[in-house]
Structure 1
Amino acid sequence: MIATHKGEITIVVLLLPFMAGIGLGLNYPGTGAVALIIPLLALSLLFIALNIGYAKLGIYKKSWLGGLLIAPILLLAGWLVTVQHYQLNNTDHFSKTSAKYLVVHINSEPKVKGDIVRFTADVVQTIQKGKATSASGTLLIAIKDELATNLFYGEELLIPASYSPVEPPYNPGEFNYKRYLANKNVYHQVFLYPRQYHIIKAGQGNPVIAYALQTRQNLVKKLKANMQDTTAIAVASTLILGYKADLSNDVLQAYSKTGTIHILSVSGGHVAIIFVLLGWALSFRKGRSKGKVIKVLVIIVLIWSYALLTGFSPAVNRAALMISMVICGQAFVRYINSLNLLAFSAFVLLLYDPFLLMDVGFQLSYLAVAGLIVFQPIVYEWVEFKNRAANYLWTACSVSISAQVITFPLSAFYFHQFPLYFLISNLLIIVPAAVIMYTGLLLLVLPQIPYLSQWLGHILEHSILLMNKALAYIEQAPYASISKIWLTHAEHLLLYIIIIGLFYFIYDKKKTWLLKTSLIATLLFCISISYKKFNSDEARSITFLSLRKHTGIVFKNGGSGVVLTDLSDTDKTYQYTIQPGLDSMRVINYKVIHLADNIRLPYLIKQQNLLQFFDKRVLLLNQTAPAQSIPRQLDIDYLYISGNAFIDTGTVNDHTLIVDGSNSDKYIDKLKNITVHCKILKRNKSIIIASKP
């Protein structure tokens, strides 16, 4: 449903400058509020004055004047809201005062992964020399303690003020956890061990949220009581209740590679099912004047109750807001453009938390729904079926195609892959997903009834196992997905220009300039991809990776390479820190060798601790082969030091030292004092050195 005039989508047009202002606020959060308030007030007063004198001043002859003023007003408003929401601007932020202890309130549901419990908490007080001072700010807390699994939302803790800033990514392609937390307005973290924290009291959070989280925990326990398979329980908890703590990485990967990851995110589709169920259950009130109002109120209250139980995710909030407004619109027999509803719900959420604009789930959710509203009618008209069953199938296909196409650039940018069989996968899960939702909701709503509850749990469990089995088969099929897609910001935007331009041209073939724009964008995109590939194929480099307590060196020869490390390629550290770098550097054919292994290739020779990579020579120094001294006639470019290796300090001045993270801080300080040619990897970015063939 493409609007023919901007007047049809007024709220969409107004939302754009507001989002632009939020973007400016996120990039320049330190901007003074006064510098924004003064021009905002001035423009607002001018806008009001012009509206008051609309007829007298003949403003109707200059209709463009209102738009010229409202755009900067909304931009400044978005910027101001973001700056005020930025926690580091608060004068009482806990990081701005020295303290020995912090008093915090747990503001999220603690998540257990292995033996570590993680959660965010609001800092309410700092304590220094026995004096408590009010404070603000959010802190990420990780506790390695079995007893910490009993912590719950709203509990007040006393912890040491041993926090530190969140570290940035140090290696190529590594996930930017610092940016991820910053987009949630979190900038500091603390790691605690047993007896480093003390529970002061409970019940300090929002009682409604506390009740909802406790209810969700009880519902998860009910699923566990009526189901046997742990994977099925985890999927049911995630799909129905948005509880993802028990979901394994293997299951996530299977859904991600088949293009069905959206089903594991409680979103608009789930809320729509709730809406349909409630509409059917309350259909007996139809036709009564008072009953109509009661029905609307009951449905809205129950939809928001479900949203509360699922953790108030952006997707559910958006869907709950939209459906609430649709219900109200239908009750008053008013037509409301769906894009305006979508934009209004986004405006409300961003006004509440402007940092949601950078949330990946928020972005994907809104883009998917916008794609369904705009592109689905266009795709549906490509083929016409008279058969009812075929038409229903094609409708489902058009929905999947529209959502996947509009979210593809964003998914490729963030997750670096594209599922080729997404259409088959999404068609296969339609029936199982519906059965899972209806059966699961029935099981959770009804009291525990012997035989009936177990029977519902049996249906729910086997529906999930069947769906998982089908998706696993598709995941293992040849060419199931295109992986290792690494797009720049410019390429990401070019893809959207291509997609939007082509679809709009298909809708209105008179606008040939859209086709030309798409073709130009396609050309630029191809040039950019080709240029990156050419540079990658010609690149010869050594990358000394920054790893905690481990060694990692990547030798890149175009698309080939060697990884020298003490890690296994199945290790989590390898998967999170080394593998993304190989993918982003386009190293496709590579070998992983251990520090003690020897290798002889046309571009790399390793004999014991000596390596020759084209014109660069590296000597590895560690405790397994201590070097009492380094002969001056040995032409070495870099000394790679690990494990606090014992060396003759009198000979290191002639060489450049690369000191990895396995060395102690005391040892590193010693090396810094004896030579200026010392490059430290510990808590620093990886070092990339180009080589010549």
Structure 2
Amino acid sequence: MPLHLHKYPFVRFLVPLILGIYFSHSFLNETECSRIVMGILCLVCGVSFILYHVFKKYTHRWLTGVCIYLLLFTLGAAITELHLSSVHHQWSAEKCVYKAQLTEDPKEKEHSILCPVSVIASQDSAGSHSVDKKVLLYLTKDSASQQLKRGDQLLFYGQINAPRNNGNPEEFDYASYLLHQNISGTAFAYTGNWQLKGHDPHRTLKQTALDYRKMLLKKIKHLGFSGDEYTVLSALVLGYQDELSEDIRESYSISGASHVLSLSGLHIGFLYFLLEFLLSFANKKRGTLIAKQLIIIILLWGFAFLTGLLSPVVRSVIMFSLIALSRIRNNHPVTLNTLAVAALLMLVYNPFYLYDVSFQLSFTAIAGIVIIQPWLDGLVKTENRIVKYVWGLMTVSIAAQIITTPIILYYFSRFSTHFLLTNIIVVPLVSVIMYLAVFTLCIGFISPLQTLLAFLLKESIKFLNGTVSFVEHLPYSSIDHIWLTSADVAVFYLILFLSSLYFISRKRWALFGLLPCIVILITFHAKERYQQQNIRSIIFYNARNCPTVHLIESPETSYLFSAEKDSVHKKLRYATQRFWNKNLANTPQILPSSFRGKSIWKQNDVLYFEGKTICMIKDDSWRNKVSNNPLNIDYLYLCKGYKGKLVWLMPLFNTKKVVIDASLSDYKRKAIEKECKLLGIDYFSISEKGAYKITL
């Protein structure tokens, strides 16, 4: 399919809208400058419009395009600012009493209970204030907090903080993620600092949908599904991933099949084509064709409702609803224009969708199938129906993989080398599982048939899991620890665009654009690699449940000095994985109690590395001890477990700086900070300032 962009006006409209969203989100952030820029853009649009009508000449026709693009850019920036202002809230710097209501059922964490709440009002010394903001409230895990349910109304005493990151190098931007989910803050309330005040039985449409999904999950268990078969089926059909094990997630990720576990465009596409097939008899007349497409749209939205109106499902259903409507007009429903219209509508409704991984993958995958797959399919000419089907399936997978690879590498730092083998088997199998699941859940009034279908469904999922596990254990099944920046992704897509122009539309000039893009990419990464050769440093990570110091000698050699004995890598993975992928060639070595190396020496809780001495205080074993010759310490690292005062350690250590770990409570942290000020000792609070990095 030749690429003639003038035939796809909505694609050209989509680009300035996206640029406006990105510009506002990245650079403006509700400042007065944003309003000034908005005013200037509107002024330019107005001037362009006036000039066009004053000089009504063909040579000035470009002014109309400029005016439209500037308006769309301004629209993108304006709606982004409106959404940001609706989420941001100036929370009190002191602890207050808040009234809140649980909007979802609580989730049990390792040491707490996570309650998504809507804060209704706050009470402080100045009086009562209405709020109406979404907050993630963490409660101490106990029998009372474990009994909470959606709709419960609470009073809690605590401090709500705006979303912020931990400050670890190259970490996932969790603060922005929460803002994109319309979460305005996080808070923690200890036992005794909250109480249940009532229950609101009213439910929103989404809450009602989640209740129906819960009923279907119980139905699946009642049919005899358990273990991995239950969790995989729940993820495939209802988008419920809470009980997926780490082993299953990793297995599907390595084999290149993780996309099937995220209920989105692939699964909605299966249902759409199933409904198209079942209602194909209605294609003969225009009236029945219209009725058929409306029925399909209603059924797709019914399915979205049963999945709890999950955002990825809703977005996919919107897209396929537009495809169904376009099918009424012509026989080529899936076009770039259709995708662009769907994206425009969704981004105008919520510009934060642009930063959602599933949104990016769904639209790029379908765009790749629309643009690249027909060209790939035409490379092999055959009359054999089996060969044609297999080749068509392969080209769909290849096209989707080509165009989504930059995004996958950017977010997941992994490339699955056997993705083609996986998808040739998995994609048809998932379609069978989807169809079997729909019929199994709908045929309850015929019990013997439902039992038979449930058996077939269970065996199909076992075969799916077995296939994925087989591919996972093949040699060289994945390339891990790949690091890309957002600039890399942009250059990769420019290379893909120019390559498509040359191979599909035979635009020879596109070849001349490829060379500078490749040179820029190679130069940038050569510079990055050179800088990584001088990364000798010490990093005190901000990982509340795992106090750790990272001692980096070179990309090949580094060590972890941790207060934890077990599962250190697992506990640090979330905080450090991106940094390790970018800078380290090998996984850091966990130091034993006694160790001596080229530039490092460790004995119990005292460590020497590259001229710096660190002492980790993680218990009270140092208390009630005296020394005639205090030990000279560069960094005194205070962690959870030490219950004494700082002054009690002064007879033992001459320290230059105290590092206060995030594992300490706020009360303990503030007490140590006060002591440091009184003693005139420099200090660094990890929970307040983020990870502490010392370049050597």
TM-score (norm 1): 0.89
Please give the residue correspondences for 1:540-579 in structure 2 after superposition, counting only pairs within 5 Å. Answer: 540-548=536-544, 550-558=546-554, 559-568=556-565, 570-571=567-568, 572-578=570-576
2:488 maps to 491
Rounded Cα–Cα distance in structure 2 between residues aligned with 1:635 and 1:113: 41
Q: 2:313 aligns with which of 303, 312, 316?
A: 316
- Asked if structure 2 preserves the Cα contact closer than 8 Å seen for 1:99 and 1:127, the reply is no
**Secondary structure in 2 aligned to 1:137?**
strand
CA 1:373 to 1:497, structure 2 compared with 1: closer, same or farther past 3 Å? same
Q: How many pairs are equivalent?
A: 680
1:690 maps to 695
Deviation at 1:602, TM superposition (A): 1.6
Q: 1:675 aligns with which of 664, 677, 680?
A: 680
- Asked if structure 2 preserves the Cα contact closer than 8 Å seen for 1:145 and 1:193, the reply is no
2:526 maps to 530
Q: 1:69 aligns with which of 67, 70, 78?
A: 67
Structure 1 unaligned regions, length at least 5: none
- Asked if structure 1 preserves the Cα contact closer than 8 Å seen for 2:49 and 2:63, the reply is no
Please give the residue correspondences for 1:488-527 in structure 2 after superposition, counting only pairs within 5 Å. Answer: 488-512=485-509, 514-527=510-523
Deviation at 1:323, TM superposition (A): 2.4
What letter matches 2:114 in structure 1? R
2:3 maps to 3
What letter matches 2:423 in structure 1? N
Please give the residue correspondences for 1:378-527 in structure 2 after superposition, counting only pairs within 5 Å. Answer: 378-512=375-509, 514-527=510-523
- Asked if structure 1 preserves the Cα contact closer than 8 Å seen for 2:11 and 2:337, the reply is yes
Deviates more, 1:359-368 or 1:578-587: 578-587
Deviation at 1:190, TM superposition (A): 2.0
Task: Please give the per-residue CA displacement for 1:441-463, whole angstroms capped at 9, x wherever unaligned.
Answer: 11122225433222222221221
Rounded Cα–Cα distance in structure 1 between residues aligned with 2:304 and 2:691: 43
Rounded Cα–Cα distance in structure 1 between residues aligned with 2:548 and 2:47: 61
1:325 maps to 322
Deviation at 1:337, TM superposition (A): 6.7
2:338 maps to 341
Please tell me the root mean square deviation across aligned C-alpha atoms, in Å. 3.1
CA 1:280 to 1:603, structure 2 compared with 1: closer, same or farther past 3 Å? same
Deviation at 1:219, TM superposition (A): 0.8
- Asked if structure 2 preserves the Cα contact closer than 8 Å seen for 1:562 and 1:590, the reply is yes
Rounded Cα–Cα distance in structure 2 between residues aligned with 1:326 and 1:648: 70
Q: 1:247 aligns with which of 224, 244, 257?
A: 244
Rounded Cα–Cα distance in structure 2 between residues aligned with 1:502 and 1:109: 49
Rounded Cα–Cα distance in structure 2 between residues aligned with 1:568 and 1:60: 75
Rounded Cα–Cα distance in structure 2 between residues aligned with 1:313 and 1:421: 30
Please give the residue correspondences for 1:41-190 in structure 2 after superposition, counting only pairs within 5 Å. Answer: 42=43, 53=53, 57-87=55-85, 93=89, 95=91, 100-108=96-104, 110-113=106-109, 116-128=112-124, 133-143=129-139, 144-145=141-142, 156-160=153-157, 162-190=159-187
Deviation at 1:467, TM superposition (A): 0.8
Deviation at 1:290, TM superposition (A): 4.3
- Asked if structure 2 preserves the Cα contact closer than 8 Å seen for 1:371 and 1:402, the reply is yes
Rounded Cα–Cα distance in structure 1 between residues aligned with 2:332 and 2:58: 27
**Secondary structure in 1 aligned to 2:232?**
helix
**Secondary structure in 1 aligned to 2:137?**
strand
Rounded Cα–Cα distance in structure 1 between residues aligned with 2:94 and 2:539: 39
CA 1:471 to 1:563, structure 2 compared with 1: closer, same or farther past 3 Å? same
- Asked if structure 1 preserves the Cα contact closer than 8 Å seen for 2:91 and 2:162, the reply is no
CA 1:690 to 1:587, structure 2 compared with 1: closer, same or farther past 3 Å? farther
Deviation at 1:334, TM superposition (A): 7.4
**Secondary structure in 2 aligned to 1:124?**
strand
CA 1:239 to 1:112, structure 2 compared with 1: closer, same or farther past 3 Å? farther
- Asked if structure 2 preserves the Cα contact closer than 8 Å seen for 1:653 and 1:674, the reply is no
- Asked if structure 1 preserves the Cα contact closer than 8 Å seen for 2:119 and 2:131, the reply is yes
What letter matches 2:384 in structure 1? N
Task: Please give the per-residue CA displacement for 1:22-52, whole angstroms capped at 9, x wherever unaligned.
Answer: 112212221358646655665665676678x
TM-score (norm 2): 0.88
Deviation at 1:88, TM superposition (A): 5.3
Deviation at 1:424, TM superposition (A): 1.0
- Asked if structure 2 preserves the Cα contact closer than 8 Å seen for 1:547 and 1:682, the reply is no
What letter matches 2:692 in structure 1? I
- Asked if structure 1 preserves the Cα contact closer than 8 Å seen for 2:267 and 2:431, the reply is no
Deviation at 1:220, TM superposition (A): 0.9
Rounded Cα–Cα distance in structure 1 between residues aligned with 2:78 and 2:401: 34
Structure 2 unaligned regions, length at least 5: none
- Asked if structure 2 preserves the Cα contact closer than 8 Å seen for 1:652 and 1:675, the reply is no
1:20 maps to 19
CA 1:650 to 1:135, structure 2 compared with 1: closer, same or farther past 3 Å? same
**Secondary structure in 2 aligned to 1:451?**
helix
**Secondary structure in 2 aligned to 1:232?**
helix
CA 1:309 to 1:97, structure 2 compared with 1: closer, same or farther past 3 Å? farther
1:628 maps to 626
CA 1:410 to 1:568, structure 2 compared with 1: closer, same or farther past 3 Å? farther
Deviation at 1:588, TM superposition (A): 0.5
Rounded Cα–Cα distance in structure 1 between residues aligned with 2:682 and 2:191: 41
Please give the residue correspondences for 1:181-220 in structure 2 after superposition, counting only pairs within 5 Å. Answer: 181-192=178-189, 196-198=194-196, 200-206=198-204, 208-220=205-217
**Secondary structure in 1 aligned to 2:475?**
coil
What letter matches 2:686 in structure 1? L
- Asked if structure 2 preserves the Cα contact closer than 8 Å seen for 1:223 and 1:457, the reply is no
Deviation at 1:14, TM superposition (A): 0.7
Rounded Cα–Cα distance in structure 2 between residues aligned with 1:58 and 1:44: 16
Task: Please give the per-residue CA displacement for 1:72-121, whole angstroms capped at 9, x wherever unaligned.
Answer: 1111111111111124577xx57369884333344456544567543533
Rounded Cα–Cα distance in structure 2 between residues aligned with 1:449 and 1:318: 34
Rounded Cα–Cα distance in structure 2 between residues aligned with 1:546 and 1:333: 57
1:373 maps to 370
Rounded Cα–Cα distance in structure 2 between residues aligned with 1:533 and 1:220: 49
Deviation at 1:391, TM superposition (A): 1.9
Q: 2:608 aligns with which of 608, 612, 621?
A: 612
Rounded Cα–Cα distance in structure 2 between residues aligned with 1:126 and 1:352: 30
Deviation at 1:426, TM superposition (A): 0.9
2:30 maps to 30
- Asked if structure 1 preserves the Cα contact closer than 8 Å seen for 2:293 and 2:325, the reply is yes
- Asked if structure 2 preserves the Cα contact closer than 8 Å seen for 1:109 and 1:152, the reply is yes
Rounded Cα–Cα distance in structure 2 between residues aligned with 1:223 and 1:178: 36
2:657 maps to 656
What letter matches 1:660 in structure 2? D
Rounded Cα–Cα distance in structure 1 between residues aligned with 2:601 and 2:107: 46
What letter matches 1:7 in structure 2? H
Deviates more, 1:412-421 or 1:140-149: 140-149
CA 1:382 to 1:446, structure 2 compared with 1: closer, same or farther past 3 Å? same
Rounded Cα–Cα distance in structure 2 between residues aligned with 1:555 and 1:129: 47
Deviation at 1:319, TM superposition (A): 3.0
Rounded Cα–Cα distance in structure 2 between residues aligned with 1:659 and 1:159: 28
**Secondary structure in 2 aligned to 1:465?**
helix
**Secondary structure in 1 aligned to 2:533?**
helix
Rounded Cα–Cα distance in structure 2 between residues aligned with 1:653 and 1:673: 16
Task: Please give the per-residue CA displacement for 1:139-184, whole angstroms capped at 9, x wherever unaligned.
Answer: 1223435565665555554444532233412323433322221222
Rounded Cα–Cα distance in structure 2 between residues aligned with 1:99 and 1:66: 55
Deviation at 1:480, TM superposition (A): 1.3
How many percent of aligned residue pairs carry the same amino acid?
26
Rounded Cα–Cα distance in structure 2 between residues aligned with 1:575 and 1:191: 23
Deviates more, 1:260-269 or 1:191-200: 191-200
2:235 maps to 238
